[in-house]
Chains A and B, each alone.
Chain A
Amino acid sequence: GAVVSQHPSWVICKSGTSVKIECRSLDFQATTMFWYRQFPKQSLMLMATSNEGSKATYEQGVEKDKFLINHASLTLSTLTVTSAHPEDSSFYICSAREGPYSYEQYFGPGTRLTVT
Chain B
Amino acid sequence: GEDVEQSLFLSVREGDSSVINCTYTDSSSTYLYWYKQEPGAGLQLLTYIFSNMDMKQDQRLTVLLNKKDKHLSLRIADTQTGDSAIYFCAEKWNRDDKIIFGKGTRLHILP
Binding site for B on A (CB under 8 A): 4, 6, 34, 41-44, 46, 49, 93, 95, 100, 103-110, 112
| B44 sits at the interface (CB 8 A) | yes
Among B4, B42, B44, B104, max chain A CB count under 10 A is at B42
Instruction: Say yes or no: B45 contacts A104, CB within 8 Å.
Output: yes
Known: A43-B103, A46-B98. A110 touches B45 (CB 8 A): no
Docked complex: B21-40 residues within 8 A CB-CB of A: 30-31, 35, 40
| B10 sits at the interface (CB 8 A) | no
A-B pairs under 8 A by CB, number: 46
B58 vs chain A, min Cβ distance (A): 14
Known: A42-B103, A43-B102, A105-B99. A93 touches B42 (CB 8 A): yes
| Size bracket of the B interface | 20 to 34
**Please, which residue of chain A has its CB at the minimum distance from the CB of B4?**
A43
| Sampled A-B contacts (16; CB under 8 Å) | A41-B8, A43-B102, A44-B43, A44-B101, A46-B98, A46-B99, A46-B100, A93-B42, A100-B97, A103-B31, A103-B92, A104-B45, A107-B35, A107-B44, A110-B40, A110-B41
A1 to B42, CA, bound (A): 15
Contacts of B97 in A (CB 8 A): 100
A44 to B90, CA, bound (A): 10
Contacts of A110 in B (CB 8 A): 40-42
Contacts of B43 in A (CB 8 A): 44, 93, 95, 107
Known: A44-B88, A93-B42, A109-B41. A104 touches B102 (CB 8 A): no
Chain B 28-70 interface mask (CB, 8 Å, partner A; 1/0): 0011000100001111110010100000000000000000000
A44 to B41, CA, bound (A): 13
Contacts of B42 in A (CB 8 A): 4, 6, 93, 107-110
A24 vs chain B, min Cβ distance (A): 13
Contacts of A46 in B (CB 8 A): 98-100
B13 vs chain A, min Cβ distance (A): 24
Instruction: Say yes or no: A103 contacts B104, CB within 8 Å.
Output: no
